[in-house]
Structure 1
Amino acid sequence: MLGQVDLSNNQLSGQIPNCWSNFKSLAYVDLSHNNFSGKIPTSMGSLVKLQALLLTNNSLIGEIPFSLMNCTKLVMLDLRENRLQGLIPYWIGIELKRLQVLSLQKNNFFGSLPFEICYIQNIKLFDVSLNNLSGRIPECIKNFTSMTQKGSAQGFADQRYNITHGLITYFRAYKLNAFLTWKGVEQEFNNNGLSLLKSIDLSSNHFSEEIPPEIANLIQLVSLNLSRNNLTGKIPSNIGKLTSLDFLDFSRNNLLCSIPSSLSQIHRLGVLDLSHNQLSGEIPRSTQLQSFNASSYEDNLDLCGAPLVKLCVDGEPSQEPKGKIQDDEDLLRNRGFYISLTFGFILGFWGVFGSILIKRSWRHAYFKFMNNLWDNIYVKCRR
């Protein structure tokens, strides 16, 4: 009986055949890194023993088929880098409760995250980046309880399957490999690496409103990427509870107010990016936060303190806001113009007429000139 199909990294094209009901013993299917097009076959829903489905980096279109809700033993569902669209199915959280890896990165999914997604408590890697998702990040994300517990070096659970011939049962193992964007670089992780890497990536979408403080309950998170969204409000004050974080990216949002002092408690932090927000006040003083490059904090106009060049006075930027300085300069420039104009008029007027009034010969010459000018004009008009 066939337990695995691995046709990855080839140049296969065309539609994926819709004949999977003939292979109900399959536990592992990898068709990634090919040129498959069309929709995901509905017959894949008949693979009730399926534990890993990898269709990464193809040209698949349409929605995730409803029939996949029958694959309740799925541990890994990787549909990255396709052209899939529609809403993220609510039934993923209800029926696929064994999921540990869900990657939908770089597709065309839209709408908000269904609250049912919070039911997949075993999830370790949750990646929906580079889509068109919107709405708020659900508070129930705290129910990703696997991210509150230390990972096991034993690898992912359920990475083997059994095949029965008559009265004899054979056990077969398979390897889970996934390419994940880690610290801005795509890297491959295998069983053990995946089990230790706990990550949430919601970057490059249209999520809005505040970052839910409940996210700080996921104390074993290693990577958290919420960059390139429309998030507002403050950075949660309890963010320091995520002491296992190695990667934190909140850049390119609309976050306000000061950086929480608790952030300095994350001593393992290797990458931090809070740039391109509207943060203000002094960067908390600690060996950890001052060790990052100034680019981690750039384009926050009211942020001050090391490693930035802008110094603080009593926790506030020492320099006046640019807008106020510009207004003051414009005001001074306008005042100078009108003052100069007034002095010029006074000097010009009295320089000419003052001399005529004071000196009699000039006064007589002026009036004689004006009489002659008027006579000439009159004569020309009469002609």
Structure 2
Amino acid sequence: MYMILKSMKKNKLRNLVIVVQLIFGIVILSNSLANYKYYISTREKAENASSSNVYEVSVENKADIFKVGEARDHQYISGEENQISTVYKIAKESKLVEKIGFEGLGCNSCQYTNEEENEGKFILKSKIKTIGIVEYSKELTEMYNFKMKSGMNFSQYYKSEKAEDVIPMLISPQLSKDNPIGSIVKLPGGGKKYKVIGVLDNSCPLLNELYNMGCLYKPNNGYFCVIGSLLTNKKTHLYIKLKDGVSKAEGKNDFDKKLGEKFETQFFGLDDMAETVTLPAPYAARYILFGIIILVLSSFGIINTVLSTILKRKKEFGTRIAVGATKAQIEKLVIGEFIIFFAFSAFIGLIIAKLISGQQAVWDFSVIGISIGIVFLILVISMIPAYFRMRKMNPVDLVHGR
């Protein structure tokens, strides 16, 4: 090892350039793999998050021109609330719909008044002032399968608990430290009380997160809660569950007939939502390819450098053989340089990639293993030319510097 390091020290600039190239390739490769794994794993979770045949329903103008106040059969479908009201009326009258649920618009800022702060034991405790709040109607909580780290979800709560004068609430792990399961808390503005019934699994997306075309996020640094009731009359999304045996196409045709010619309904299911999550996956795959290309090009640089230095170092190798070194030891010296190049670069590259990656990246054994495996494969391929060049060297010629 000492001889290998001493040999590498003679070419500091050359080695630095090669190592930087390798690290750059490994950072791109491993970071892209971590993000790709995130999108794929999130899609799998999203596909299993809801009961079957559940769709978010909205209205669109067929001409893609949604004019405020445009009349249709003496009705106006302008603005989000009127759209939802129109779809709700159709869903309520449809014989194909089994259940209707709403997602509401919750407050995003927990700013308590002095009076509320004096009731400290009832306040939802948090290390930050701004908390994301998501509202689900009771019917919607029965359609969506919340994944839990501890406690119970809404469906389990409604089955096991008697009616209480409190509203059930699920909280994020960030809030669970100061608000244990069973806590009775209040939110800003209003005297309603909420009971913490469970802690959410942060790795499973919520319905509202699936609208963001794959850019999933956790609101307010992960400080959020889900309430099993609508706080206001402001409804942002309407969901329906079609009866067993009713297809998405049948449901859409039924709604479209009742809407008329100018408008049509959009049925957006959990499968469709999961598809939006994986839209960025091809981009991640493209960067994986970029990383591999950079590593391959870097390995060519290493091969050329090592082969050229082998020719220049014949006299050095000859001197080593003259003082007792074997040909096998010379080969180990050169191969050792390869291994140190790649091992050092892989180690530093993985650390840098982990530090610069976002919270959404998944750094599990498969991501790290695949990254190291690709680097090792390129290492082996890179060593082949140098190994055969060394095998052809005649020890006698080396001793004479030929």
Please, what TM-score do these two structures have when normalized by structure 1? Answer: 0.23
Q: Which has the larger radius of gyration?
A: 1
Of Structure 1 and Structure 2, the greater helix share is in 2
Of Structure 1 and Structure 2, the greater strand share is in 1
**Bigger relative contact order (CA 8 A; separation at least 6):** 2
Please, what TM-score do these two structures have when normalized by structure 2? Answer: 0.22
